[in-house]
Chains A and B, each alone.
Chain A
């Protein structure tokens, strides 16, 4: 009798111990996540389902972004910049105005494009359906996706023809909105404010160095660069200039930034022919 009882107690003990890890994880946040497991994403005609991405997230993403999507995976102490905290629902690369949620397509593109100068590689090996599922999974971490809708993507006018005048005008914009304060007069990320930059979580963050040859974080087409001025990179010191720069001026700035980049470009050739000088921070407004 006593032996049987001991067996049962051992069995129950085993069950209790095995149940401990799930119980310890069953915090409010976990509950919230489970309540949002029905989250969907919509990429064109494809509908992604969060519940279908659980295994893929665990396989590819948990190490950095953590089981709870809070960016606190095992690699958190070692990687720089730190992994994104999906629970905040704040994303750098968006087509939507600053402060708003990105579209599903924005997240979909970011997964495949990766983020240079971070540990986020290009996850371009998923099928579109798998990637759409992952977008839904990322969304299910934040209550913002329940309470808010994504912003309306900004309009990007057609790219004008590049001219020397536009490049010079872009240099004026670079000086006027004080890009050089962070990015430096030569685009080398060594402006007077560069060393003091922090993200929204007060962690040090580096400005983009246009000259080192790495890809811009949110894409390397002219349209991608244009978009960054007008949407800002939420969560970082890079603001949106949608209220300060007119669309035409934004294109001018794109052309000027191309002259700072190490990659060969038409703008770079023109700048060389012009003998274009860097901005002078001390020059009076409009007299670069």
Chain B
């Protein structure tokens, strides 16, 4: 009897100890992950709005955030001009993502492998690059964005650097921007929720057919140029046109002597009751880029490019909401390059193609055709609540015509699948912090380094994405 009583007492004490231990651990975890940030996200602290006001799940914009951006990072009220801010306000945000990653490629060139290729899997802790995002208003209706960005080794470049004149002549239809900027697709790769090596970027934003020398049609790379953008008061109708140098955003005009591209985008949003505001639109990019260069001692001279050839990218984009929890982004592309690019004339400056591919003779290799392709992706976000988002993206690129006759028709085709979740333990108007877990898989046909069979890689990442 006494033994039984003692046993029950021990059990009760044990229960209490377990409860206390768990509570202490929980409190520790909560406190350790909820420390106030030392600095403040630039726009959120300026206006006192939570991340979720502008971001479906940061960094992806929602309609309100898109309108804010289109107004030149202004809410169009009396708080926009920096003169109204506290003098200590500093419009700077830093973003970085320490993570653990597992990367696996099925065919890596290995000397000791019987076929010359074998699977290689690596895991470990890693860092992303660093983005220093500074932006806002210099004065009411004069906007700037400057983003010095470092890769994971600390090498900096200017990801964005532009000034925008907003609402010229008091019209939202007249906004002019000059500098280096993101092309105006409302589905933005810069604001994608996916971060892993195999799934972080949109393939269609950077697709180049195998053996192609045209690096200039990459929608996902910020470009140097000037942009007109106009929108209706409520931002439901958006139009833009940009004239850019055909340099893929590289400074010092390293390619053609006179090579430009244009990018057009337009979209229309419409209300669909409680489903939310839907947006559909399209884009078109047409450009010229050089295929021949003057040389010095046989080496191509940067900026001397001539023999412009053309390329195009056109497509549809849509953002569809099915209530406050579920949305779909749809993006399509039909791309075409000049046969010259297909034969790997074009970028011989940075080594995409052999410097010997210098179109001095003006004769296209026999039988070469314009490489063309089609592609699409569907990205889904299930926003359980503003703090927790599950996402997936499925993307496909299919060559419809290879440049060189006899090339396997599926060479370079891409399949890419990504899924994951993003959890913000807290949400304030001061800092952004997300636990990010993602898996991605990508396969490109016929591009393994030795046997030229299918190359597939997959990535698993678990990281902390934070900005402040």
Contacts and interface: CB of A to CB of B under 8 A. Distances in A.
A5 to B, nearest CB: 6
B274 A55 contact: no
A130 B274 contact: yes
A40 to B, nearest CB: 14
A122 B75 contact: yes
B20 to A, nearest CB: 8
Interface hub of B26, B48, B50, B78 (most chain A Cβ within 10 A): B48
A64 interface: yes
Contacts of A16: 19
Given A9-B15, A13-B23, A14-B22, A114 B67 contact: no
A199 interface: no
A55 B23 CA distance: 29
Interface in B31-80: 47-50, 52-53, 62-64, 67, 75-79
A125 B63 contact: yes
Contacts of A130: 274, 276
Interface string A1-33: 010011001101110110000000000000000
A5 B14 contact: yes
**Contact count band on A:** 35 or more
Nearest to B384: A55
B77 A121 contact: yes
Contacts of B48: 63-64, 75, 78-79, 119
Given A9-B18, A62-B50, A75-B48, A122 B77 contact: yes
A117 B14 contact: no
Contacts of B429: 63, 74-75
A5 B8 CA distance: 11
A122 B14 contact: no
A124 interface: yes
A283 to B, nearest CB: 33
A216 B19 CA distance: 57
A56 interface: yes
Contacts of A129: 271, 273-274
A249 interface: no
B274 A125 contact: no
Contact of A17 (B26, B47, B276): B26
A59 B276 contact: no
A133 B19 contact: no
B79 A119 contact: yes
Interface in A46-72: 52, 55-56, 58-60, 62-64
B386 interface: yes
Contacts of A78: 48
Contacts of A62: 50
B324 interface: yes
Contact of A63 (B19, B49, B78, B273): B49
Contacts of B75: 114, 121-122
Interface string A107-143: 0000000101101011111111110010000000000
Given A10-B18, A55-B385, A59-B386, A124 B234 contact: yes
B49 A133 contact: no
Contacts of B324: 55-56
A71 to B, nearest CB: 13
Contacts of A13: 15, 18-23
Contacts of B215: none
Contacts of B20: 13
A9 B429 CA distance: 38
A125 B67 contact: yes
A25 to B, nearest CB: 15
A127 B277 contact: yes
Contacts of B18: 6, 9-10, 13
A193 interface: no
Interface string B1-15: 000000000010011
B18 to A, nearest CB: 4
Contacts of A9: 11, 14-15, 18-19
B11 A5 contact: yes
B191 interface: no
B15 A5 contact: yes
A214 interface: yes
Contact of B428 (A6, A63, A116): A63
Contacts of B52: 58-60
B322 to A, nearest CB: 13
B235 interface: yes
Contacts of A14: 22
A59 B19 contact: no
Contacts of A121: 47, 49, 75, 77
Contact of A52 (B11, B22, B76, B274): B274
A58 B64 contact: no
Interface string A84-117: 0000000000000000000000000000001011
Contacts of A5: 11, 14-15
A2 B277 CA distance: 57
A37 to B, nearest CB: 16
A93 B292 CA distance: 67
A273 B395 CA distance: 68
A62 to B, nearest CB: 7
B49 A58 contact: no
A122 B64 CA distance: 9
Contacts of A114: 75, 77
B110 interface: no
A149 B357 CA distance: 80
B251 interface: no
Interface of B: 11, 14-15, 18-23, 26, 47-50, 52-53, 62-64, 67, 75-79, 234-235, 271-277, 324-325, 385-386, 428-430
30 contacts: A2-B11, A5-B15, A9-B15, A9-B18, A10-B18, A10-B22, A12-B19, A13-B15, A13-B22, A16-B19, A17-B19, A55-B386, A58-B52, A60-B52, A60-B53, A63-B49, A63-B50, A63-B428, A64-B48, A74-B430, A114-B75, A116-B77, A117-B78, A119-B48, A119-B79, A121-B77, A122-B77, A125-B62, A129-B273, A215-B77
By Cβ-Cβ distance, the 5 closest A-B pairs, closest first, are A13-B19, A9-B15, A127-B271, A13-B22, A63-B50
